[in-house]
Amino acid sequence: MQEIKLNGDLLKFVQAGLKKATTRKGHKEVKLGDACFVDPENFVNKVNVNIYKIEYVRFYDLSEMVELSRKEGYATGDHLKKALENIYGEIDFNETMTVIYFEPNYSWS
């Protein structure tokens, strides 16, 4: 099963249904279908999801991606970009970003 690390604070938003996408720096190979988000600080803390879409975009494009920002739990694309730079440090405006869209999967554990 595909496991993807996700900060425990963000994992809470996935569990609550408030976060339905995650954006990663760089071009990441991610499979569609069943996956599990895992807190790297506490591997017992997990959430099962179904990944239904993968998208590759440039960092500068995130400013205009309002729907993605909302799925990530942010009001605007600029808020999302700032949050990503808090995680990764300064990101080149032309950097490829991997966007993973998912929904909770309660059918398996």
For a pLDDT cut of 90, what percent of the chain falls above it?
A: 80
Q: Is the pTM of this model over 0.85?
A: yes
| 11-39 pLDDT tens trace | 999 988 899 999 999 999 999 999 999 99
Which CATH number is associated with domain 2-104? 3.10.400.10
Mean pLDDT of the region 78-90: 95
For the chain, how far is it from start to end, CA to CA, in angstroms? 11
Backbone angles phi, psi at 17, to 5 degrees: 80, 15
- Parallel, antiparallel or unpaired: strands 2-5 and 33-39: parallel
